[in-house]
Structure 1
Amino acid sequence: MFNQRQTEILRFLAEVQFARLDQLAARLGVSAETIRRDLKELEQESAIKRVRGGAVFSGLRANEREFVKKANSNHQEKSAIAAEALKHLHDGEAIAINNGVTSMALAHAIERSGLSLNIVTNSPPIAVLLSQTDQNRVFLTGGYLRKHNKSLVGSLCGNSLENFRVDKTFLSVDGLSIQDGITEYNTEEAAVLRRMLRIGREKIILAECSKFREVAFNRICTAEEIDCIITDWNITAQEMAPWQDAGVQVIAAPQRMPDYAHAE
């Protein structure tokens, strides 16, 4: 996880592509030695590449963890969040759901529920799963396929989302911060998530409590732009309080045994 100063270095390098060491030190008001340490850590995460006199933006995913690693962690929390999210769904509703491991957990819960829904997604695996039941109507966005995590992104994806309006948008995200808002590591994914939020009347974030301590590279929206966060039982009252003060409902799913299989 990057600290706030390292996140600002990444944002600046993404804009200018190359920055000198002294330029970064002056911009952030710290010593050159501090910047050297930050750049070393960022390079270890494949976020930037150090070069003589400074650093360049690497063009990689800026600390986006491998999807398979996400899929193999916190099964119980994801299952609990999915079960709680299912309580917010009613027969006949239209929903949008993005690609993601927690989103896939929700898809499994929907598939078993018997609910009849209209579903818009940028996830081919989620679309295939939910289309196996006769009661669901599934709409898969256009776009090009990210081999990394099997999601559809790009302008075709964003444009196709504009054709829909849904009752609820469910987003699985990388980071939550009351100061920095809802964040996502991959720039293309973040653009899709912004479009998904716009088409939903009710905007619901699905995130394990560990995400409350993480700030990713791209901001999707501010706290004021979402209605509800569904997280797990590990969340503390102190972590919930600033979101509730901002008018966001925070629901802590109770602990339960995992009951879904990861399909991705």
Structure 2
Amino acid sequence: MKIEVAQHCGFCSGVKNAVQLAKNSLEKQKNIAVLGDLVHNKVVMDELKDNGLVFVDSLDKVGNMPLLLRAHGTDVNLIYAAKEMGLNIIDATCPLVREIHKHARELEEEGRQVIVIGDRGHDEVIGIVSRLHDPYIIESPDGVDSSKLKQRTGVVIQSTQRIENVQNILPLLLTKSCDCRIINTICEPTRRNQTEILSLAKNNDCVIVIGDPTSANSNRLFEVSRSLNEHTYMVASKEEINPIWFNDCTSLGITAGASTPGKLIEEIVAYINFSNGDNKK
């Protein structure tokens, strides 16, 4: 069985920077607090936890520890509260997410109602809308029909959104307002990875997406590939791999989400190679 690993997969620059910032900070501080996952990957978070990262569910439990802000952004009201409490804040927000915050505010300053295309409950979307006065979240084309939008609007997009979903939403939005300014804030790693997965899915018998089930971008890759290749599987570890998947498989494509560490990708590729006795393409 031939194995083709996507040219670009695993940690994006934003995740890599956030994880490195956490590691560097833990070398100086015994413990650092974080509200929720720094990045959406259990393997990464467990390693950081072993090195002193402490998960808390409220600011009251931070105590004297520095507070690490997550890569995908934080509700601005929480940041204000943390500053009022005098907490030492370490900001690991992805620079590309900060750009979305900037664009969204610019659109609002132009007098536009800001529409956010994204998953309503995702931390990144929560962070974006917390910085706006009258935002409107649209998750799918169905959400456009029931929307009550102003005639002057602006659009930003969750950085890890599925491109096809956005392409289906935008034409409908244009029928709802007469003056709509769109800023494509899907990040470059997402656009690149979703383009590469098209080739993997079409040119291989099977596809494996390596990623944590809580990772939005990993799930997007899985959705795109599965829509083209029914023999697409998503795993978070080598233990989740079922050898039956490869019974009639002569070529396997492998990719990974932007929060998947390189060592996990290497481990899974080595495991499959060893199990099948083949060499990587």
TM-score scaled to structure 1, two decimals? Answer: 0.31
Larger-gyration structure (1/2):
2
TM-score scaled to structure 2, two decimals? Answer: 0.30
* Higher strand content, 1 or 2: 1
